[in-house]
Amino acid sequence: MNKEQEGLIELVGQEYTKWFYDNAVPSVSGKPILNGEGILTRGGFINKCKTDTEFSERRGLKIEERELSTVERMEYYGKHYMKEGEAKSFDDLLKVDYVGLNIPTKLITITYNNKTITSYE
């Protein structure tokens, strides 16, 4: 994730933490709980936003992560490594060392308050 995406997650995570402590009650051990669960860690919060649509919608934060197809990696290579007007055959593109060139394999899209930020990893 890029810094802007990290910043959005941090902001929404802080809002979640405030909401949690405003609504939680002490458990037998004294730690706050809400609906039988403790507060989420940062990683748990991110994972829940990725996998739980209802939770994600309540926070207004949507995190989507997916693998890029071979064709998408070829397109990335073309946009970032080929000179304007340069042409390569499909066979030549299949021979490119995408790993060696550190061509991304993943697309991460974060949407918050109708603002979408996309990054590659």
Are residues 61 and 86 both part of a single domain?
no
Mean pLDDT value across residues 25-39: 89
Domain that holds residue 25: 1-67+105-121
Are residues 12 and 62 both part of a single domain?
yes
Are residues 61 and 120 both part of a single domain?
yes
Are residues 26 and 2 both part of a single domain?
yes
Confidence of residue 35 (pLDDT cuts 50, 70, 90): confident
pTM summary value:
0.81
Are residues 39 and 3 both part of a single domain?
yes
76, 93 in Cβ contact below 8 A? no
β-pair type (115-120, 106-112):
antiparallel
Record the tokens describing residue 68, joined without a space: 């890029």
pLDDT digits (tens, 9 = 90+) for 44-85: 999 999 999 999 999 999 999 999 999 999 999 999 999 988
Are residues 3 and 54 both part of a single domain?
yes
Are residues 62 and 24 both part of a single domain?
yes
In angstroms, rounded to a whole number, what is the distance separating the alpha carbons of residues 64 and 118? 10
97, 78 in Cβ contact below 8 A? no
Are residues 24 and 82 both part of a single domain?
no
Number of domain units in the chain: 2
